[in-house]
Structures are given as C-alpha cells and as structure tokens.
Structure 1
Amino acid sequence: MGFFIETLLGGLMTGVLYALIGLGFVLIFKASGVFNFAQGAMVLVAALAMARFSAWAIELTGSMLFGNVIAFFMSVAFMIALAIAIERLVLRHLVNQELTTLLMATLGITYVLDGLGQTVFGSSVYTIDVGMPKEPLFLFQDVFEGGILLNPDDLIAALVGAALVAALALLFQYTKVGRALRAVADDHQAAQSVGIPLGRIWVVVWSVAGVVALVAGIVWGSKLGVQFSLSTVALRALPVVILGGLTSVPGAILGGLIIGVGEKLSEVYLGSFVGGGIEVWFAYALALLVLLVRPEGLFGEKHIDRV
C-alpha cells in the first residue's frame, strides 16, 4: 500500500507540471483559436533566459537567493517583450485570417525562437539551481514499512505549479481579462465590434503563456538541464490538452493529473506485462482512445454544424 501511495504521489506531482505546460496551449488556443506549436520553443527560450540571467545575477550579487530573484524578474520582462514583439511583427498582420495561416505562423515562430535562443544565449548545456533541497524525504515510516519516499524538489515544484494553475484559473474565469479572452475566442470580429482590443488581448495572453513557459522551463531545466531537447518536453503535454479539451482550463488541469498518474501507475504495474517504456507512449494511447469516443476532449466545447 505504501508503494502504491508513493507512486500515486509521484504521478500527481508530475501531472501538475504537465498541466502547467498544457495551460500554455489552452491559453493561446482560447485567444486565437489556433494550436500554438511554439509553446515548446517558449519553454526552451524561457529556461535559457533564466539560466543565463541567473549566472550573471548570482555573480554580480554574490547571493544565490537574490541572484535568482533578479534573474526571474529579468526573465519575466524578457518573455513579455517577446510577446509584444510576436504581436507587433506577426499576429497584428494576421487578424481575421484563416486558422491555417495562424497555425503556420506558430510553426514559423517556433523556428525563429529556436534560432533566437542559440544566437542570444548560446547552444551549451546550462544548469538552473534555484536552491531547492535534493535530500529525499521518508514519510509515514510508522504507518508503512520503509515509509513513503518523496523528493522535496518535486514537491516544491508541484506546489508552485499548483499555485500558478489556480491563479490562472481564477484570472481567466472571474476577471475582465478573462471575459474578454472568452469573447475573442468565440469570434474575433464580434469582439472587436464591441470595443475589445484584439492586439492587447493577444499580448496579455502570450505574456501569460510566456510566464507559464518560464515556470515550466525552470522546473524542467533544474531536473534535466537547459538544453535544446527541452523543447520536446512540451510534446509530453499534447495528450493533456487532447484529453482535457483545447478550450478548457479545468480540463488542462485534470488532464495533466490523469496523464501523470496514469503514466506512473502503468509503468509500475503494467510494464512487466507489455514491456518497458510504457510510460513513453501510454499518454498518447489514452488520448487516442478519448478522441475516438469524445473528439472534443473531456471538457472541450462541442461544435454542432447545422446544414
């Protein structure tokens, strides 16, 4: 029982991080109606910015804490500036265009960001050290034999991710920005006709997605190192948004938790029957099954075309 709870907790903590990346996809889709292929590149660029700014700020201040705080706010400013540049140079010229055009634009942004990351920050493998404890914890040793193993860095990352997910959910459900976002997602022209500034909404959403990418980049970069393969981490979040629905913030949260727990449990309890590596493809198989039954996802909006 103790091992099962340990596996379950590990899956939940991983699921929170998946949900965090999935939220970036959902936010962009709700604002523009297009799937943002650049989300992985945003995670990479944000992690590169944090790694380089952190090294510079720690050397300047001589303090890891203050250096990381300065680097974080510098990285936030960098991602906001990047969002403004994307809106001014790309999105502003594609208002009311076909969704295929916007989709291709996000592909172009992906390659530009990959090149920008190499040009500005270099192509070396960097590390991010935000001072999270690494010593494993053993909990409930009096209840379960051997206790429950818990990595404190995973727990802290999950708590930070959960707080950010909750804040975003509240922001886009109960604020004026959230209402404007839903209006823009429904119909660009109608939103503009009632005075909603489409360009400003896109800047806000891409900025928020950039901050989400920054937090995800810090977490995954501290685990895996900041390297260009980090952009593929976003691919692990694709089943999350497929499962939860591309238009649903709660769906991204629940989808992330389901995928995280499902991966861990399937690898532990089914791996011996189907062979190793089930954790790699389990999420995609589950997403495929959901698409066959409910193409819009668990919480996605149904679209009925009348002819």
Structure 2
Amino acid sequence: MLYDVLIDPFVQMFALPDFFLQVLWEGFVSGVLYALIALGFVLIYKSSRIFNFAQGIMVVFSALTLVGLHSMGVPAIAAVPLTLLVMYLLAMSIERVVLRPLVNQPDIILFMATIGITLFLIGFGQLVFGGDNKVMITEQLGIPTGAFELEPFGGFVLIEQKDLTAVTLAILLVVGLLVFLNKTKMGRAIRALGDDHQAALSVGISLSTIWVLVWFIAGVIALVTGVVWGARAGVSFALEVIAYKALPVLMLGGLESVSGAIVGGIAIGILEKIFEIYWGQPFLGGNTETWFPFIFALLVLLFRPQGLFGERIIERI
C-alpha cells in the first residue's frame, strides 16, 4: 500500500508521458490565470498597503458587465472599452468614497473596507445583472473555441485554442505591466510608493492619483481574468471562489513581488493538477484541488515565512 501511494504515481508519469504532458499543460493554464489574479492583489498592496479582498468580485463584476452590455445590444468591440470605462469609474469611486476618508487608518480598517466593497459589488451586481449563470461572449470577442494537437518531445498534447488565447493574453498583459512599472513615470511612482511610502509622498507623488491608477489596472487584470475564466466555466458569482486560489499564490510569492505572483501562480497550478490526478483521484477520492494549494503554501511558510520571493525581515535589538 505504501508503495502504491509513494512510488506508483511516479511510475505512471514516466509510463504515460503523453498523459503527463497533458496534465502539465492543464496545470500551466490554470497557474497563469491564478498568477493574473494574484497580480491584482500585489499591485494594490505595493501602492497602498491594502490587502484587496474585493479582487475576486472585481473579476466577476467586470465579466458580468461585459456580458451584460452585449446582451443590451452593444457590439462586443464596443463592450470591451465600455467595460474598461466602468472599471475606471469604479476605481475613482473607491478612491473618492472609501479610501480617501480612511487615509492613515490602521491596516485592519482598510482591509474591512475592501470586504465592504465586496459585499456592495455582490449586491449591486445581482441587482443589475441577476444571479443566474451567463455564457461568456467568446466567439463575439474573436476567441477561437477549437482545439489542435501538438507533439512536444515526442509526446502528444491536445491544446484548446481558448486556453492558448488565455495564456497569450496573460503573457502580453504581464509584459505590458512590467514595461509600464519599469519604464514609465507613473510606473516608477507606483514602485516608489511601494518602496518607501512617506518618501514618495514627500517628493510630490499624488496618493489619490496612484490609488485610482492601481485600482484601474487591477480592474483591467480582473476583466482579462474574467473573460478567460468565463470562457472556460461560464460567468456567475461562483467565479469569485477562483480568486481565493490567489491566496496560496501570495503566500508563496509574497505580497510585494510581481515575479513572485507569476512564479507562484504557475507553481500552484501545475502542482495542484499533478497531485489531483496522480494522488487525489486514486487515493483520496478526488477534489484535492480545493485544499492542496493551501496545505502546500503552509508547508513552505513553515520554512520560509516571508514566502519564496518576499524579503527576509531581520530585527536587531
């Protein structure tokens, strides 16, 4: 029995390389999307030290807005910029109504405020769009729905085109974000605010402008995530649960590391899929993907409390 649990899964990986490659691809796609969600958390935390509990519902709200606008007769090509406008107005409203009055308040107060934003968006979203499951406008957005075969390393992998599109969009978004953060004036201001909050403010960086910007960028990330997840699983408020997978990603990568969010997301996606297929289904009854990422992240934190990419804090007395 011990051999079956510990050794047999590894034997199967090498005995069926085609199937193993397919598992790796499926895990990689999920991991890329987890990394996208985690990036929204990281950006907001770096600029404002706020853990944005509302990032998950922002994914749902942006996707529902896109689908809702199209159902009202707005063409898909126009629904996307209109949805981005809605997310910008949402960012401005959050900064003006919620964050600005709470400047210099304890972190727990700001965290509770994001929970309030979550509950408001759930109620407002259900009022405007209803609570039923909706179909993402995949074809109208030009996202292909077919599949094709690849034979990497002599193996065989079936690639769904919508998954390939999701990965491509995620890579382009991450590259664009890194260029923005490192090469533009506003991007450097965001990084400066994250590195030294008080010093950045003392040289004239506008806190309100940065907050609106990072919440809007988080909204853009939420929209891309909502589109690609909606294409895979439909659009409903249950989609918010997927955002919780960003938590172990953040535990691994650290709350302030963009690269940590990317690497941590991909690692979680691949490892949870491998564990589910080779250990979860044969020995544990399946459904291990709901809890494995959290257990794995906790084990890592036992040895590295700041995460894989977080900075080690050394206090000297």
TM-score greater than 0.5 by the shorter chain: yes
Aligned residue for 2:65?
49
Aligned residue for 1:280?
290
2:201 corresponds to 1:185: no
Aligned residue for 1:160?
169
2:103 corresponds to 1:95: yes
Deviation at 1:31, TM superposition (A): 1.0
Instruction: Kindly indicate whether the alpha-carbon contact (under 8 Å) linking 1:181 and 1:201 is maintained by their aligned counterparts in 2.
Output: yes
Summarize the alignment of residues 116-195 of structure 1 with structure 2, pairs less than 5 Å apart.
Answer: 116-131=124-139, 132-140=143-151, 143-144=154-155, 147-195=156-204
Q: Distance in 2 between matches of 1:106 and 1:142?
A: 47
2:39 corresponds to 1:23: yes
The runs of at least 4 consecutive aligned structure 1 residues that moved more than 6 Å come to none
Q: Distance in 2 between matches of 1:112 and 1:162?
A: 31
Deviations 1:265-290 (A, max 9, x none): 11122222333122221111111011
2:256 corresponds to 1:247: yes
Instruction: Kindly indicate whether the alpha-carbon contact (under 8 Å) linking 1:21 and 1:212 is maintained by their aligned counterparts in 2.
Output: yes
Instruction: Kindly indicate whether the alpha-carbon contact (under 8 Å) linking 2:162 and 2:231 is maintained by their aligned counterparts in 1.
Output: no
2:245 corresponds to 1:236: yes
CA RMSD, Structure 1 to Structure 2 (Å): 1.7
Deviation at 1:225, TM superposition (A): 1.6
2:48 corresponds to 1:14: no
Given residue 168 of structure 1, which amino acid in structure 2 is its aligned partner?
A: L
Given residue 15 of structure 1, which amino acid in structure 2 is its aligned partner?
A: G
Deviations 1:168-224 (A, max 9, x none): 122223332222112222443332211000000000000000010011111112222
Instruction: Kindly indicate whether the alpha-carbon contact (under 8 Å) linking 1:96 and 1:189 is maintained by their aligned counterparts in 2.
Output: no
2:311 corresponds to 1:301: yes
Runs of 5+ unmatched residues, structure 2:
1-16
2:272 corresponds to 1:263: yes
Given residue 243 of structure 2, which amino acid in structure 1 is its aligned partner?
A: A
Instruction: Kindly indicate whether the alpha-carbon contact (under 8 Å) linking 1:96 and 1:188 is maintained by their aligned counterparts in 2.
Output: no
Q: Distance in 2 between matches of 1:279 and 1:124?
A: 25
User: Alignment partner of 1:303: what SS?
Assistant: coil
Aligned residue for 1:64?
none
TM-score normalised by L of structure 2: 0.89
Given residue 43 of structure 2, which amino acid in structure 1 is its aligned partner?
A: L
TM-score normalised by L of structure 1: 0.91
Instruction: Kindly indicate whether the alpha-carbon contact (under 8 Å) linking 1:188 and 1:198 is maintained by their aligned counterparts in 2.
Output: no
Q: Distance in 2 between matches of 1:84 and 1:304?
A: 37
Instruction: Kindly indicate whether the alpha-carbon contact (under 8 Å) linking 2:138 and 2:144 is maintained by their aligned counterparts in 1.
Output: no
Distance 1:200 1:137, change over 3 A: same
Q: Distance in 1 between matches of 2:303 and 2:66?
A: 41
Aligned residue for 1:112?
120
Runs of 5+ unmatched residues, structure 1:
61-66
Instruction: Kindly indicate whether the alpha-carbon contact (under 8 Å) linking 2:248 and 2:294 is maintained by their aligned counterparts in 1.
Output: yes
Q: Distance in 2 between matches of 1:22 and 1:140?
A: 31
Deviation at 1:141, TM superposition (A): 9.5
Given residue 112 of structure 2, which amino acid in structure 1 is its aligned partner?
A: M
Deviations 1:63-99 (A, max 9, x none): xxxx222111110000000000000111111122211
Deviation at 1:47, TM superposition (A): 0.9
Deviations 1:17-46 (A, max 9, x none): 111111001011101112110101111110
2:86 corresponds to 1:78: yes
Deviation at 1:294, TM superposition (A): 1.1
Deviations 1:233-266 (A, max 9, x none): 1001111111111100000000011011101111
User: Alignment partner of 1:137: what SS?
Assistant: strand
Instruction: Name the % identity.
Output: 49
